[in-house]
Amino acid sequence: MSAFSLADVYRARRRIEGRVCRTPLVESPALSRIAGVPVHLKLETVQPTGSFKLRGATNALAGLAEEGVTRVVTASTGNHGRALAHAARSLGLEAAVCMSSLVPKNKVDAVAALGARVVIAGRSQDDAQVEALRLVREEGFAFVPPFDDPRVIAGQATIGLEILEALPDTAGIVVPLSGGGLFSGVAFAAKRIAPAVKMTGVTMARGAAMHASLAAGKPVLVDELETLADSLGGGIGLDNRHTFAMTREHIDQLVLLDEASIARGIVHAYREERLVVEGAAAVGMSAVLDRVLDEPRGPLVIIVSGCNIDIELHRRLAGA
């Protein structure tokens, strides 16, 4: 991805300005006590669609609209689809979102409520992508990948700019890791501005495709399993062009969490931080609670990626 540069990230920020929130960075006294250094939470939960995905989707669709594209489609575990539907509606584009039967109903309903055409296909992200590519071939849609796309990555990378502008002495950034769009974008921007920043990716132990791919030295297929961190599910694509190499280049530590640990993070967020978060957004907090992060040298930032959890599930976990 040699053509990708920091200039692309600043261009993305200009393109999404006014359509996407510059999100708060707030200190967590509870997590700071455990970590022994200041811990700050980057709250992507306040985005209009409830997750960071709005950044990448908005940048990608705005670029496509400039090129005259009118119909877009994606495959999603929920949050990217919701972001694409929101961005498409604001830009006047037709949108279709393909999702597997594993995607929680609340996320499917949220996409439909934004006016996108919803297609349920198979039981994995890979199945949903096959259906999305059929719509490209047969109905003339433009495909917008959920993570492995330069414009999507550049949009997510704007989080890295905001973190280092707000907290220039940041020593480490903890990022939920799935297909790598968020991680590779934030890491790319952060390490070009502050090369010493330590980048940690955190994911679930059940069906972690990027972890398996990094271990194998190439993109590999994994079985997609049910997990509290459903937004981190799905493969990275055997023909991955960008995020695998960028993640491998920039990752300093990779942490796997079991389901009990993810649940503890969700509960902690609610009881101590007064935040309702989904499992994927809780993993950074879980890693601090479990004391599995390499010893931080200074201020630590955790990206809290989204709040789109099924509310009944949240009640059962948090006892609310």
Contact indicator for 61, 55 with CB cutoff of 8 Å:
no
Active site residue 105: no
For 33, 194, 288, the CA distances from 37, given in Å and listed in that order, are: 7, 19, 11
Q: Is 203 helix (H, G, I), strand (E, B) or coil?
A: strand
**Annotated catalytic residue within 28, 42, 53, 184:** 53
Give the helix ranges, DSSP H, for the chain: 6-16, 29-35, 53-66, 79-91, 105-113, 125-139, 150-166, 181-193, 209-216, 243-250, 259-272, 279-289, 311-318
Distance CA 111, CA 84 (A): 9
Pick from 214, 194, 195: nearest CA to 203: 214
Pick from 272, 276, 227, 309: nearest CA to 43: 276
Contact indicator for 167, 25 with CB cutoff of 8 Å:
yes
Phi, psi of 170, deg, nearest 5: -55, 130
Phi, psi of 12, deg, nearest 5: -60, -40
Active site residue 53: yes
Name the burial class of residue 112, with classes exposed (0-12), middle (13-18) and buried (19+) by CB atoms within 10 angstroms of its CB: middle
Tokens representing 85? 């539907």
Catalytic residue positions, numbered = 53, 305
